[in-house]
Amino acid sequence: MKEYGSNVQKLADHIVKMEDKAKRNLYAHILVELMRQIHPNMRDNQDYTNKLWDDLYIISGFQLDVDSPFPPPSKEALGKKPLKVGYNQQNLTYRHYGRNIDLLLEKAVQTENPEDRLAFVSYIFRLMRSFFNAWNKDNPEDSVLLGQLEQLSKGQLKEEIEYIRQSGPVEAAPKDRNNNQERNRVNHMGGGFKPQSSHNNPERQGGNNQGNQNRNRPNKFSGRNSGNNNNRNNNRKKPGI
């Protein structure tokens, strides 16, 4: 293995030729520690120590007879090719939208509430626009996206698509719309916050009147200040005297 160098190869060959097994075990552990220091960046691997011992067995040609903490790898698995990863067999009409758009459309078709379904389709319409802009530089028209949306939904959302074509998508998502309905229900039952007007609150009226009286009360320091200003002006010498 070239990543360890020729010196590690020579040491592994020397350990294989040792007759004393105890000495062979000691030198094998020392060599594994040396291999660890040669590649310190491999410590992030979960099976780091196991890989070092596997590499040592491979370097020795599977002839190393030591008491290692891990079993030696098989020779058949060494040159075995990895399994092929199959291609995605899902037939996507528009791949830049992905499979998630199809799943969202299936969820929208199953939605029974018409208002929730309209909000759901509006959300999918805006999401399709963002996906289209991510893969294409052109800004599509609404008619293009609505035609693709009708094709992906297989004609099961014609009423909602026609509403978006005439009036545009609704702003609220299904979750936001439900929260607004809950908030309106609480306010209708009297649980909402109602501001108190001063016209119906006599205590607040009294407080406001008292505040107005205090605001109109003459300042006791105003006379003193005016007197000091008059004396200061009288003591000032007039020119020509």
pLDDT in tens, 67-108: 888 888 888 777 777 788 777 667 777 878 888 888 899 999
Contact criterion met (CB below 8 Å) for 109 and 153: yes
| Residue 15: per-residue pLDDT | 92
Look at residue 127 and tell me if it is in a domain: yes
Mean pLDDT to the nearest integer, 158-165:
91
Q: Are residues 102 and 70 in the same domain?
A: no
Look at residue 143 and tell me if it is in a domain: yes
Which is more confident, 71 or 227? 71
Which is more confident, 219 or 89? 89
Q: Are residues 55 and 120 in the same domain?
A: no
In the predicted model, is pLDDT for residue 17 greater than 70? yes
Q: Are residues 111 and 163 in the same domain?
A: yes
Domain boundary among 175, 191, 220: 175
Domain boundary among 121, 144, 175: 175
Which residue range(s) make up the domain with 44? Answer: 6-74
CA distances from 50 to 32, 46, 57, 139, 208 (A): 10, 9, 11, 53, 82
In the predicted model, is pLDDT for residue 37 greater than 70? yes
CA distances from 124 to 158, 208, 236 (A): 14, 54, 84
Look at residue 214 and tell me if it is in a domain: no
| Residue 46: per-residue pLDDT | 58
Look at residue 30 and tell me if it is in a domain: yes
Look at residue 29 and tell me if it is in a domain: yes
In the predicted model, is pLDDT for residue 124 greater than 70? yes
Q: Using one digit for the tens of pLDDT, what is the confidence trace for 172-211? A: 655 555 555 544 544 444 443 344 444 444 444 444 444 4
pTM over 0.85: no
Look at residue 40 and tell me if it is in a domain: yes
Q: Are residues 114 and 70 in the same domain?
A: no
Burial 35-51 (b: 16+ CB within 10 A, else e): beeeeeeeeeeeeeeeb
